[in-house]
Structure formats: C-alpha cells, structure tokens
Chains A and B, each alone.
Chain A
Amino acid sequence: MKALEVDGIDVFYRDVQAVWDVSFDVEPGEIVTLVGANGAGKTTALRTIAGLLKPRRGTIRFQGEDVTGMPPFKLVERGLVMVPEARQLWPQMTVRENLELGAYGKEARKQRNETLGVVLQMFPILEKRSHQNAGTLSGGEQQMCAIGRGLMAGPKLLMLDEPSLGLAPMLVRQVFAALKEINARGVTVLLVEQNVNQALALANRGFVLETGHLTLSGQTRALRSDPRVKEKFLGEAAL
C-alpha cells in the first residue's frame, strides 16, 4: 500500500488553473521531493493534499483511503501533516505553546509530553527559547519550531513546504539533517523545494513541476545527472 497517491488532480484559484493533471505517489518510508521554480504550483499541490484547497478533478489517497476534499483536521488525525511555507507560527504565543498546540488532535494529545521530549532533543535551541514569543525567533529557529510543531501532531507522512526558504546555507544543512533524522525515525517525508540541488541530494525520488504540469520524475540519482534538470535548475548548462 502506498503512503500517498495523487491521481490526476486539477486545482484552481477561482478561475485560474494552477495545477494541471498532476499525478505522483509516495512509498512508505521514502523521502520524495517535489521541485520546481517559483510559481510552478508546488505549494498549491501541497495545500490541496493537506485539505486547504479542493481539487476540481482527480483523487488523493492516503494509506489506501480516498481522502479527496477531506478537511485538514481529519487528515491530521490520520497522520497526514503539513508544515506550511514561511513557517507561519502563532507569533503572539510562546514557543512552548506553539509546540503544544501542534498536538491538538485526540491521539497526539495523549503522547504530548513524550513527543515534546523527542522534539526538544532534536532541536535543543527550542528548549532555550521555550518561553519566548514565537514572533521573536530568528528565521532558522522559526523553521525548527514549525517542523517541531508538525512533529507534535504525530505524523505518518510529513509534508514540508520550502523549509530552506530564506535560511543561510549552514542552517539549510541543519534543517535537511533534521529531515533525514525524522525520516530515520520512520516518518515518510514529502518535501517541496526550490533549492533543487539539496532537495535532490536528500530525497530518494523526485518529481519536477513546471507551470502546473509534472514534466520529469524518477530516482534522484538519475534526475541529478539529467541534462534537462541541470540546465533548468542546477545552473550547469554552460559547463
């Protein structure tokens, strides 16, 4: 059984179509990345899977169950959790409150203190910032807090929207290392990234999205040496 199957979804913002007939899948335990330029429809696709948008056509299956059009809170209960773009913390709540509220669902609430321990061990800086308002954190700390909040929900599949956005290279490496560790703990990861090079280095498989269409897919090893990917994203065309 696949962790996630997206089958031919069309997504619109009012009358403008942003995603055209996109299909892809994620196997349990994998890291899969969805890469593409700004405005390619990556975020739209992810928000649709998370239940914030409804596809006009196509189906989404999570662990074999048809979840198309299901509201986000039901998806979170099932273990399909998204860490939104640009962190989107609750700025006037403390780091601790942000994390605790991540475990809002019934099941997650029972495990709250154990999960919190794991998250604080993974991101020790959050322990130090515990009683600070999330709005006062630096960009890197905010990203860690956002990932930590996602983990608090007890995800089976964790989807991340551009976790490297606006971070210094050293912090990007740190965040990607954390994703690797999360995956090693048994969480399937779906990563949306503009930072194509590093995303392909981390993931097992990749899909390339261009202006709303899926154009390339395959093992990341093959994608990284694909001339089309090199030309478009890795800036090695001249070499």
Chain B
Amino acid sequence: MQKFVIVALNSLLAAGLYATMSYGLAVIYGVMRIINLAHAGLMMLAAYATWALNDRFGLDPFLSMIIVAPAFFVLGMALYATLIRWLPRSAAGPSMQSLLLLFGVWLVLQNLAYAIWGGDTQSILTPYTMESVPFLGGRLGVPQILVFVVSILSLVGLNLVLRRTYLGKAIRAVTQNRDAAMLSGVNAGQIAAVAFGIGTAFAAMAGSMLSTLYAFTPDFGRSFLLKAFCIIVLGGMESFTGVALGALVLAFIENFASAYTSIPVSYQDAISFTLLVVVLVAAPGGLPGLWRMLDRRVVAR
C-alpha cells in the first residue's frame, strides 16, 4: 500500500512536467495545425542555456527560467517570422512541407549544439540535486517537487492568459474556428506568431526543468518528444484538460509499469510508443473522443 502511494505520487510529479512539455506542442497545433518537430531541439537548447547560465554565473536552474523562457518566446516569434509563416496553410492537418521544415530546424539546432558544446554529456549539479524529503514513509526528490510546482504554476498562468485576456481568447478562437476568428477582426498571422512564441517558451521551460533531472547531450529530447506526441494524441490534440489528463495517464502507466512489472526502466519509451499506437488505432479522437462516444451511447439509450 505504501509503495502504491509513493509510486502514485511520483507519477503525479512526473505528470506536471509532461503536461508543460506537451502544452507547447498543443498550442502550436491548435492555432496552426502543424506539429512542431523542432520541439525536442528547443528543449535541448534550453537545457544547454540553463547549464551555461549555471556554469558561468552560478545561476540556479529554476531561477534561470525567468531569463530562458522569455528569450525563447522571442526566439519562437523570430522562427515564425523568418520560416514558419511561409508554409502553405492546410486545414486538414500538418502538411509535408511543415514536417520537413521543422525536422530540418531540429537538425540545425542539434548540430549547432554539437559545434558549440561538443558531444560530451552535461549535467547540472545543485545543492539540492540529491536531496529528498520523507513523505508518508517514502522519500520524494526535491528537484522533482520543484519541477512539479513550477509546472503547475506555468500551466495555471497559461490557463489564465487563455481564459481572461483578449489575446488568449483570440488564440482559443483561432483554434476552435479560424475563419470565424478572422471574420471577427482577429489578425490570424499575429496570433500564430504569438502562439509559436508561447509554444517555444513552454518547450524551453520543459528543457530547463529536464536539465535539473537528467544528464543531456545535443541528442537530448527525442524520447520526451515521443512522450509529448503520445500525450497530445491521448488528450485529443486541442483541449486543455485533455492534455492534462493525457499527461497523467502516461505518467501513471510508465511509473506503475516499472514499479510493478519486470519491464526495465530503459523500456519506458516502448511503453509510450505502444500507448500511442493503441490510442491511434482504438480511439483516434483521444480521451475526449472516447468520452463523446460513450456519452452518445448513453444518450442513444
């Protein structure tokens, strides 16, 4: 029982980070209907930026997010203005052009990192990296707790912006019906630029936080991108609560699988990939789609 509680808590802590990492993809997909394949590269770059700030100036990785996140917001807007905006629009889903372009951006970022920092594994050591606090008879890592708190704060912040401000409402409007938003006077290009900035800033926050938990190289981020794919497919691509639920489901499955079965931790990626395939085959609409289907069945009776 005690083991169960600790595993559940660890799943919850992981889910916060997973959600932060996935919202960046979801916001961009919602507004532009493109999948940001460069997401992993941006997370990696943010991890290095956090490391550099820590190495040079001794800045705490969590405090460095105050610099890194806004800087990446600007970087995202710049990427949009120079590259993304020229992509042909497709209402149906991500175009081949957009996938190729963003995959290319990822490769460029990766090789840039190799050129600047080399291929050695880096990690950030803080006074609390190895600390943990006793909780209900088990122990929870201090970095994990900090990551969870910052994740929740960033998600609450994003949700407030989306619900309360004109800009946030415009982002939701473009996501739900782009034509209607344009006909109401929303400048769709400007909203897309802001959304790409927000998505990039969330990738950066996830990257900064990941750097406090894991060691990284320029190849870092791939398996987390896969997890994020799995989460937004599970969450139904554009719903805020859906993504949070998707993050919870994946985190719980991963943690319980490694705690209660003999599947080695190194096979964790296989779990998210299997889940992704199962969801795509069995419930392409994700959890919200499944919910609607059940709802309709009940109504039909």
Contact = CB atoms under 8 A, between A and B. Distances in A.
Interface string B61-82: 0000000000000000000000
B185 A93 contact: no
A102 B184 contact: yes
A73 B180 contact: no
A92 B177 CA distance: 10
Interface residues on B, range: 10 to 19
Interface string A66-102: 0000011100110001111000111111000100111
Contacts of A105: 185
B176 A92 contact: yes
Contacts of A153: 184-185
Interface in B140-182: 166, 169-170, 172-173, 176-177, 179-182
A104 B166 contact: yes
A72 B239 CA distance: 27
Given A73-B185, A76-B184, A108-B185, A52 B172 contact: no
Given A101-B169, A101-B170, A52 B182 contact: yes
B190 to A, nearest CB: 9
Contact of A84 (B183, B186, B188): B183
A19 interface: no
A45 to B, nearest CB: 15
B279 to A, nearest CB: 21
Interface string A99-114: 0111011001100000
A73 B177 contact: no
A205 interface: no
B187 interface: yes
A50 B172 CA distance: 22
A71 B184 CA distance: 12
Nearest to B190: A73
Contacts of A54: none
Contact of B180 (A51, A71, A88, A97): A88
Contacts of B180: 84, 88-90
> Of residues B166, B172, B176, which shows the largest number of chain A Cβ atoms within 10 Å of its Cβ?
B176
Contacts of B188: 73
> Of residues B166, B177, B183, B189, which shows the largest number of chain A Cβ atoms within 10 Å of its Cβ?
B183
Interface string A11-40: 000000000000000000000000000000
Interface in B226-279: 239
B17 to A, nearest CB: 26
Contacts of B179: 52, 84, 88
Given A101-B169, A104-B166, A104-B170, A89 B186 contact: no
8 contacts: A51-B182, A73-B185, A76-B185, A90-B181, A93-B173, A100-B169, A104-B166, A104-B186
Interface of A: 50-52, 71-73, 76-77, 81-84, 88-93, 97, 100-102, 104-105, 108-109, 149, 152-153
